[in-house]
Amino acid sequence: MTKSVLTTSAGAPVADDNNSISAGARGPLTFDNFQLFEKLAHFSRERIPERVVHARGAGAYGTFTLSKSLSPYTRASFLQSAGQKTDIFLRFSTVGGGQDSSDFARDPRGFAVKFYTDEGNFDLVGNNTPVFFLNDPMKFPDFVHSQKKNPKTNLPDPARIFEYWANHPQSLHQMTILMSDRGIPRSWRHINGYGSHTFGLWNAEGERYWVKWHFKTDQGIQCLSNEEAASMPPQGAQQDLVDAIDRGDFPSWTVKVQILTEKAARTFPINPFDLTKVWPHELAPLQEIGRLELNRNVENYFAETEQASFAPSNLVPGISASPDKMLQARLIAYQDAQRYRVGVNHNQIPVNAPRCPVNHYQRDGAMAGTTAENQGSGINFYPNDASDLPAPSAEFAAPPLPLLEEAWVKPHSQDDEDYFEQAGNLYRIFAAKEKDRLAKTIAGGLCHAEASVQERMLIYLEKADPDYADRVRRAVNGLTTLSG
């Protein structure tokens, strides 16, 4: 087989790729080294800004197979008939660390699924936890600053982490999950995924329902202790995923939903749009609706996983957002982040490109035409007088959402919510030994915090469950001698 000829990126054949051009064997380089300049200039631009959160991740392609029609609840085209298959891309991630941090931090895990449906991409940009640390997006930058490295030492700083939590009782539920035995997953394959937010579903009759998505790992939950995690190779979870898919051991998740009618949501005993809370299974049972399988590794990590651009605003007809304040803010923040990080035309990159026709009047911007030729000579404005060009269609309008209270425009605090009961419910599920390990893990960080931070945390724990506070108090004081 003959080798193809090396070329520049403009396609011109290259004669020598080992030696730069110089004025004599020992002389300086000359300006006609354009091939060298291209190599160095491209090399300098090989990185795009890494994600501020969820920087370290791994992704793979797969298939979502619907086992039960959701047509009574939604007109979403990929949720209509049992047996329907939809291609997906899933990116797992840790949250706090940079690109080259360990896969085995005690940290939530991102679980972001892009469904390539025939009516556009639906991105469910979730986590491995059903709840989150906050329920108002105003807090998000402060929260992330407090959990990341100390700005002076560039080292993890448990005192700052707990100082944030002591000022935000709404974090207690997620903090309990994070500090529990499930805080350090063994691999990407052994975690559950949750859409976490409440989303809307609307059917062909224009009736709206509220939904929560759950992806239960078929591999079983597996986690590591702090000691086990410390001895793992930093990229171990990525290796595990790549190897499993390469050997045909395709990981899968059973997909379930909880659904509430709009009417039931109005009288639900908890705020159904508060991201710090689950919908108790007893009140909203899980319904199995399908299976998600990963079956193809990426060919090029940068092009696919690094440039994968998820956005909760990627919704399809039949699925809507909800009044969840965190989701509302993510509708703008994620697209904005992708425009900054990858570029305004990120949806033209193959991993992000819809697998259905794209018809719009957007034009130009950096890298326009990567895959779509910038829509050639076609008309670039709407409305226009052409009969065959894209036009909106009212059939895709989501039903209007009524406001259920006198809608005063002002900052509304959610702090009259009960932030403690569900943390306590989870605590009470744990076996005695798990409670001890939880207390020890919390104490390991809390002992670095100021006394006033410790006191506030203990007050919150007391409200969740007096035994929870008691165990943590004893662990902070002695860091040993725990009882069952």
Site of interaction with ligand NDP (CB under 6 A): 130, 177, 180-182, 192, 216, 221, 278-282, 422, 425-426, 429
Taking a C-beta distance cutoff of 8 angstroms, is the pair 64, 292 a contact?
yes
User: Cβ 422 to ligand NDP, closest distance in Å?
Assistant: 4
Q: Catalytic: 150?
A: no
Residues 77, 365: Cα–Cα separation, whole Å: 31
- In the complex with ligand NDP, the residue whose CB is nearer, 166 or 426, is 426
User: Cβ 186 to ligand NDP, closest distance in Å?
Assistant: 14
User: Cβ 466 to ligand NDP, closest distance in Å?
Assistant: 17
Residues 113, 192: Cα–Cα separation, whole Å: 13
- In the complex with ligand NDP, the residue whose CB is nearer, 314 or 422, is 422
Q: Which of 121, 127, 314, 345 is catalytic?
A: 127
User: Cβ 434 to ligand NDP, closest distance in Å?
Assistant: 7
Q: Which of 54, 190, 214, 346 is catalytic?
A: 54
- In the complex with ligand NDP, the residue whose CB is nearer, 281 or 412, is 281
User: Cβ 266 to ligand NDP, closest distance in Å?
Assistant: 20
- In the complex with ligand NDP, the residue whose CB is nearer, 61 or 420, is 420
- In the complex with ligand NDP, the residue whose CB is nearer, 21 or 429, is 429
User: Cβ 174 to ligand NDP, closest distance in Å?
Assistant: 9
- In the complex with ligand NDP, the residue whose CB is nearer, 182 or 325, is 182
Q: Catalytic: 127?
A: yes
Q: Which residues are catalytic?
A: 54, 127
